[in-house]
Amino acid sequence: MNSALCSVDWIKVAHVLQALLTPAIGIATVVIAVIATKIQRQQAATNRLHYRLALFERRMKVFDATLEFIGLVLREARIDTMEPLFNLIRGTREHRMLFGSEIGEYIDELYAKGGRLHVIDMAGGPERIIRAEDIPEETAINLWFNGQTAIAQEKFLKYIDFREP
């Protein structure tokens, strides 16, 4: 029995085992590469979602400030101080970095019409009585603001819609 063990050529056995293990190592390498690729893709998708969430939060602040301004004008039907206009500027100052130009133009239009309401209000003197010649313009501006909540939601929706992947 001892002589049978001595007659085995261990060098040939090692070569045979090496030949058999080489394809297995290659397959294992491919499997590891496939798994690593899947993990990398999942991490990229997760990073993209984190980016979108951060962008969403910043865009929502601009959207909220815009709707807050519109709501104030609808509630008061006038702008008796500059504070609401300043709040609009402060709350939407990032709009150029976060949105397309149409949002900037829209915010500028809101500001201009709000500013005009303020001028009309101030023209009435300390009593804040609207002058007869300003009533048609004030009415037109207030009517314009009346439909702006829905218009603002429509304009902002393509930027804050999370339903799309």
Return the higher-pLDDT residue of 100 and 128: 100
Half-sphere exposure of residue 96: CA atoms within 13 angstroms, side-chain side = 4
Condensed to tens digits (0 to 9), the pLDDT of residues 21-33 reads 778 778 888 888 8
**CB 113 within 8 Å of CB 139:** no
Domain limits of the chain? 56-160
For residue 33 the two structure tokens come to: 């590469």
| Residue 49: predicted pLDDT | 80
Q: What are phi and psi of 82, to 5 degrees?
A: -80, -10
Q: Are residues 138 and 120 in contact, defined by beta-carbon separation less than 8 angstroms? A: yes
**pLDDT value at 1 more than 70:** no
- Rounded to whole angstroms, the Cα distance separating 25 from 88 reads 64
36-85 pLDDT per residue, tens: 899 999 998 888 888 888 889 999 999 999 999 999 999 998 898 999 99
133, pLDDT greater than 80: yes
Tens of pLDDT along 143-164?
Answer: 999 999 999 999 999 888 766 5
CA distance 59 to 95: 8
pLDDT of residue 165: 52
The two tokens of residue 60 are: 């929502």
pTM above 0.85, yes or no: no
